[in-house]
Chain A
Amino acid sequence: MFKGTNASAGIGIGKAAVIKEVEMVIRPDKVASVEAEVQRFRGALADTVAQTTVLRDDLATKVGEKEAEIMNGHLMLLADPMLTSGIEDAIKKDSVCSEYAIETTCTTYADMFAAMDDELMQQRATDMRDIKTRMQQTLQGIKPVDIASLPEGSIIVAKDLTPSMTAGINPANVTGIVTELGGKTSHSAILARALEIPAVVAVSGVLDKVQDGDSMVVDGSEGVVIVNPTGEETAEYSARREAFLKEKKDLERFIGQPTVTKDGVHIELVANIGNPDDVAKVLQYDGEGVGLFRTEFLFMDRTSMPTEEEQFEAYKKVAVGLAGKPVIIRTLDIGGDKEIPYMGLAKDENPFLGYRAIRLCLDRKEDIYRPQLRALLRASAFGGIKIMIPMVTCLDEIREAKALIEEIKAELDRQGIAYNKDIQVGIMVETAAASLMADVFAKEVDFFSIGTNDLTQYTMSVDRGNEKISYLYSTFNPAVLRSIRHVISCAREAGIMVGMCGEAASDPMMIPLLLAFGLNEFSMSASAILRSRKMITGYSSQELQAVADKAMSFTTAKEVEAYMKEFISQ
């Protein structure tokens, strides 16, 4: 059994098709006529461009324009004057064959990309090596591996799949993909997900242990690969495969369905996102909006503060993408635990009890908070944006933040800049203080969102990263459950919306309790939405009251967990 990175969910069972590139020996052979060699190179280049164009068109019709984009990239690189003149200069300078000139020139660029401190740029190294190999194969008359004609039930096993190889994959015949290299965001992983083929990548040493035609199991959900499985294993994975496909089909029925309990309670089922590109996933899984957009990504991995304009574009992109659906954007939640050199944050002795989130933002209004709030207000003209303040502990913070928002609104009015005048401002409830004061805070804000990860941490005084005390970190602890129930009831009494954006919101054992408590909005990773919708629509919140009462009568986390586990398994 091999372990790798789970790159595309699902289970594939089939026969190994080991892809081995023909080894080409590239030597600095001298050529008699430099002119003739340059012509030979130009001919091969033209042929490679023609092949790539065919691949691009194939991919565009078979998978989609977005996936064909990578081939457009190859065409751009092949047309680059620096690359082609570099290769021709190398031929002329040393009177060497085209193959060698291509080798040295392309490798220089591939190495340059590989050395860059940016994952997307590093992937360009793969592209560069791919076009290098294809030009060389064309020169030597070697036909590229014909992946398009693999027999049905094939599991591709390769060192890495070049973009031009993946372009040839026929999802009707390929039931799994295993590579020794790559990561979750590598080209082969992205394509495998688009084609819904189970894939495990970064499986080291697998090529040495697999022969062409071996039986194989690929579990792309767990990142497991089995070569020549026993009858027992095959039976087990066949059953899992059936279950996976059944669940997937089953969940697809819930796309486009409203999230309403059996007794008619409407629930908002929304997604947590970390950057504007995640919007595609939210729409794919039919999220009803965004319950938490973390804005930290805008501030990380860079050398200067993002401008108001840049932030505006990012927020606007999400608002427009969700076409008027609610989008709750959390203002910067950062502290001394993060290395952001340009912010000049001193190391905090206790970063989670220290100078962070709203505490930091209110202290640095001019360079941090004002530009962010201005960008949020401006973007609110384009969709359903709501502002959420993190880590609130006292009323003064809420009032000060709201006063600043009002100040910026007046400024925008004077400048004639559009924004949503009725924009909602809410808070994360994630500290013990906010929970205890929830009845008071509920009168000052438009909504609550309970952050269960931090609320558990602060309520239990437990560092969730410390394994020695992990027994304390459970949202099912009666202290945490009482806190959650209290916050929800305070919000309902004040008539404001109350949601949850921590991991607990998608926990099958927690959902029945939250429904019984009266939570309005559940925010989770997009991939959990359909499963949660299925659960919620199967319950009646009235009938769950008795379950919640029983759960709340226990005095330890273990008892609550055991009871809820028992309840959902019925």
Chain B
Amino acid sequence: MVRAKVVIRNLTGLHLRPAGILCNKAILYKSRVQFRTDHTTANAKSVLSVLGACVKCGDEIEFICEGEDEQEALDSMIKVVEDGLGE
């Protein structure tokens, strides 16, 4: 299991569009991809779960990946967030 933290920079937080981009990236990997916020844990492969976490601009989230391609998945998730999730 690997984990890393990243801060959400999107002005509107993890809303539908950025959440969709996040999920589309997560489903490319075989590993389980989750992230933790202060109050909950979300499944990064489910847009509903991501939206449900109600992540706002400036919030820090911690990705936790577990599985055969976990490191690759983690690096990719951090990058997609840092690239601004399409914004």
Contact = CB atoms under 8 A, between A and B. Distances in A.
Contact of B46 (A81, A112, A276, A313): A81
**Contact size range, A:** 20 to 34
A77 interface: yes
A339 B7 CA distance: 24
Contact of A124 (B7, B9, B16, B23): B16
A363 B18 CA distance: 37
A76 B20 contact: yes
B58 A310 contact: yes
Given A76-B47, A310-B57, A313-B9, A112 B52 contact: yes
Contact of A82 (B19, B43, B54): B43
25 contacts: A69-B17, A72-B20, A73-B16, A76-B19, A80-B48, A82-B46, A82-B48, A82-B49, A83-B46, A83-B48, A109-B48, A113-B51, A117-B54, A118-B13, A118-B56, A124-B51, A276-B11, A302-B56, A302-B57, A302-B58, A304-B58, A307-B7, A307-B58, A309-B9, A313-B11
Interface in B14-57: 15-17, 19-20, 23, 43, 45-49, 51-52, 54, 56-57
Contacts of A72: 17, 20
Contacts of B11: 275-277, 313-314, 317
Given A81-B46, A304-B58, 6 more contacts: A76-B16, A80-B47, A82-B49, A121-B51, A277-B11, A309-B9
Which of B23, B48, B56 is the most central at the interface, judged by chain A CB atoms within 10 Å of its CB?
A: B48
A309 B52 CA distance: 26
A313 B84 CA distance: 10
A326 interface: no
A172 interface: no
B74 to A, nearest CB: 20
A116 interface: yes
A120 B15 contact: yes
A187 to B, nearest CB: 12
A127 B13 CA distance: 18
Contacts of A116: 54
Contacts of A124: 16, 51
A277 B15 CA distance: 15
- Pairs A-B, 3 closest by C-beta atoms: A82-B46, A73-B16, A76-B20
A306 interface: yes
Interface of B: 7, 9, 11-13, 15-17, 19-20, 23, 43, 45-49, 51-52, 54, 56-58
Nearest to A112: B52
Contact of B54 (A118, A275, A310, A317): A118
Contacts of B49: 82
A525 B43 CA distance: 42
Contact of A81 (B20, B45, B52, B57): B45
Contact of B58 (A82, A109, A112, A306): A306
Contacts of A81: 45-46
Contact of A120 (B12, B23, B47, B48): B12
A196 B45 CA distance: 38
Contacts of B58: 302, 304, 306-307, 310
A240 B15 CA distance: 40
A81 B7 CA distance: 26
Contacts of A127: 16
Contacts of A307: 7, 58
Contacts of B23: 76, 80
B43 A73 contact: no
A73 B20 contact: yes
A276 B84 CA distance: 15
- Of B45, B51, B56, chain A has the most CB atoms within 10 Å of the CB of B51
Contacts of B48: 77, 80, 82-83, 109
A117 B13 CA distance: 13
A312 to B, nearest CB: 10
Interface string A179-199: 000000000000000000000
Nearest to A69: B17
Contacts of B45: 81
Contacts of A304: 58
Nearest to B56: A302
Nearest to B8: A310
A314 B9 CA distance: 10
Nearest to B51: A124
B29 to A, nearest CB: 14
Contacts of A118: 13, 54, 56
Interface in A478-521: none
B37 to A, nearest CB: 12
Nearest to A310: B58
A81 B19 CA distance: 14
Nearest to B54: A116
A80 B46 contact: yes
Contacts of A275: 11
A127 B48 CA distance: 12
Given A82-B49, A307-B7, A73 B54 contact: no
